[in-house]
């Protein structure tokens, strides 16, 4: 599939070996103890704070330009097609998958691994996962590493009653010991995979193990190189969370997370109880940034960033290492073109950049491109799913409202083309 090949790669000017720690999986130091292999290496087995820092020093996070301007994960929005379009036309510094249940992927409920689909143009791309059982995270870490992701992000901020009520997402704020154990087991899964753990010997269903080569060949249109498969790299672990459950508890919650040395913490400026109501509390994010300062962990702010100017102001006010943009990117991948200008404004104190001025024709051309790409890759999903994306592109120009009313009624790509092609090609 042509959209999966080529595009955006790491832009650091550094050799690839400087990005991550690479481990030759030659079996040295391994002994077999039952059905799962364990690794007799004090560095890999030690989950101390110092070892977490060692992993982070070799992390892609430390090679990103700062302040970081990334695409936030949004459930039901940031699917693989959305992220590919955003990368192609905007180019965020980092991207995250939609949050994915570790139980769903390790129990074989998604044999095609569609929830984890990504494309090379998105790199660095991070798999975001949620759950409650540390051992499920251990297995999921192997799978995510095997699929070639650049990092793992653990969702500790989803406010859904179903998810948080079960103790996952923002529910983990109430159980910091379990949250730390999840971080530990995720990191251990990464280490064990990097040292040569066989993916088929960690308790994953056969349907999952057997699907990995097939989905990689489908996603990347190529047969895996055995030489590359023999080289395994550790990847960093990060967290996305909130200010608290019913009230702000960052003075306790953030130090608890820092005790496990995540590479980065993204902090949404609301509690679970607030969900998405009211305004994000950037004063609390600033206090969290002060707590994090000097720890070796990066902190990113999230919540109500609707423009490049807002991003500059919040970064200046709080001292965060970057921001993640969510709803502002819907129908507007071009907002990420301001990344360099945001960095310049923060560094020099210059006037914040204006958001890119995009013509109606270009907006609608990308809307059509988005729909065509979705249609080719939607599988069993209804074409109607793309309506919410089409609606987002129809803003800020004459007669946009009338056109939007037509686009949210289309049922097929052919209907959409009949509406947009005369405008785009005229």
- 231 and 342 together in one domain: yes
Q: Of the residues 348, 379, 403, which one is the last residue of a structural domain?
A: 348
Angstrom distance (rounded) from CA 41 to CA 30: 8
Its sign, for the CA torsion 243, 248, 251, 255, is negative
pLDDT at 230: 64
- 276 and 413 together in one domain: no
Q: Number of structural domains, the chain?
A: 2
pLDDT at 111: 83
Q: Of the residues 348, 372, 388, which one is the last residue of a structural domain?
A: 348
First to last CA, the chain: 28
In a 3-state reduction of DSSP, which class is residue 207?
A: helix
- 150 and 277 together in one domain: yes
Q: Of the residues 323, 348, 373, which one is the last residue of a structural domain?
A: 348
Stretches in the chain below the pLDDT threshold 70:
1-58, 221-230, 426
In order of 58, 338, 350, 352, the CA distances from 154 in angstroms are: 19, 28, 35, 32
- 172 and 230 together in one domain: yes
Q: Structural domain of residue 213, as residue ranges?
A: 2-348
pLDDT at 216: 85
Q: Cβ distance 281 to 269 under 8 Å? A: yes
Helices within 61-116 (DSSP H only): 80-89, 102-106
- 152 and 23 together in one domain: yes
Can you read off the two tokens belonging to residue 23?
Answer: 């481990």
- 304 and 368 together in one domain: no
- 79 and 226 together in one domain: yes
Q: Cβ distance 7 to 121 under 8 Å? A: yes
Specify if 353 maps to a domain: no
pLDDT at 214: 87
Q: Among all chains, which residue has been given the structure tokens 């193990």? A: 209
- 318 and 228 together in one domain: yes
Q: Note the pTM of the prediction, 2 decimals.
A: 0.85
Specify if 354 maps to a domain: no
Q: For residue 13, count other CB atoms closer than 10 A to its CB.
A: 7
Q: Among all chains, which residue has been given the structure tokens 């030659």? A: 26
- Each as own residue / partner, the long-range contacts of residues 33-39 (CB below 8 Å, 24 or more positions apart, any chain) are 35/201, 35/203, 36/197, 36/201, 36/202, 36/203, 37/192, 37/196, 37/197, 37/198, 37/201, 38/192, 39/191, 39/192, 39/195, 39/196, 39/197
Angstrom distance (rounded) from CA 108 to CA 103: 8
pLDDT at 315: 97
For the chain, give me the number of helices (H) and strands (E)?
Answer: 17, 13
- 62 and 195 together in one domain: yes
pLDDT at 20: 32
- 179 and 133 together in one domain: yes
């Amino acid at each position: 599939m042509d959209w999966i090949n080529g595009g955006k790669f790491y832009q650091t000017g550094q050799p690839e070996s400087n990005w991550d720690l690479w481990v030759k999986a030659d079996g040295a130091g391994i002994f077999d103890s039952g059905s799962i292999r364990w690794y007799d290496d004090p560095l890999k087995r030690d989950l101390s704070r110092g070892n977490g820092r060692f992993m982070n020093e070799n992390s892609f996070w430390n090679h990103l330009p700062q302040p970081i301007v990334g695409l936030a994960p949004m459930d039901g929005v940031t699917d693989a097609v959305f992220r590919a379009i955003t990368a192609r036309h905007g180019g965020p510094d980092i991207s995250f998958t939609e949050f994915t249940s570790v139980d769903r992927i390790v129990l074989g409920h998604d044999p095609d691994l569609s929830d984890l689909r990504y494309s090379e143009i998105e790199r660095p791309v991070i798999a975001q996962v949620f759950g409650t059982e540390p051992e499920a995270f251990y297995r999921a870490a192997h799978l995510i590493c095997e699929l070639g992701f650049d990092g793992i992000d653990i969702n500790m901020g989803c406010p859904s009653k179903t998810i948080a009520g079960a103790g996952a997402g923002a529910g983990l704020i109430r159980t910091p010991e379990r949250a730390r154990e999840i971080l530990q087991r995720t990191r251990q899964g990464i280490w064990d995979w990097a040292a040569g753990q066989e993916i088929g010997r960690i308790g994953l269903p056969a349907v999952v193990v057997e699907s990995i080569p097939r989905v990689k060949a489908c996603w990347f249109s190529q047969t895996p190189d055995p030489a590359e498969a023999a080289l395994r790299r550790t990847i960093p672990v990060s967290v996305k969370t909130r200010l608290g459950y019913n009230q702000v508890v960052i003075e306790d919650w953030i130090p608890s997370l820092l005790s496990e040395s995540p590479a980065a913490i993204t902090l949404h400026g609301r509690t679970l109880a607030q969900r998405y109501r009211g305004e994000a509390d950037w004063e609390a994010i600033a206090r969290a940034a002060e707590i994090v300062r000097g720890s070796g962990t990066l902190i990113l702010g999230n919540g109500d960033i609707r423009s490049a100017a807002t991003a500059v102001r919040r970064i200046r006010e709080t001292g965060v290492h970057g921001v993640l943009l969510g709803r502002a990117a819907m129908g507007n991948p071009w907002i990420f073109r301001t990344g360099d200008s945001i960095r310049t404004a923060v560094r020099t104190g210059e006037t914040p950049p204006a958001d890119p001025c995009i013509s109606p024709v270009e907006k609608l051309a990308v809307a059509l491109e988005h729909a065509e790409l979705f249609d080719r890759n939607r599988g069993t999903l209804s074409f109607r799913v793309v309506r919410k994306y089409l609606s987002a592109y129809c803003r800020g120009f004459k007669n946009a409202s009338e056109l939007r009313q037509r686009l949210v009624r289309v049922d097929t790509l052919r209907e959409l083309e009949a509406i947009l092609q005369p405008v785009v090609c005229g």
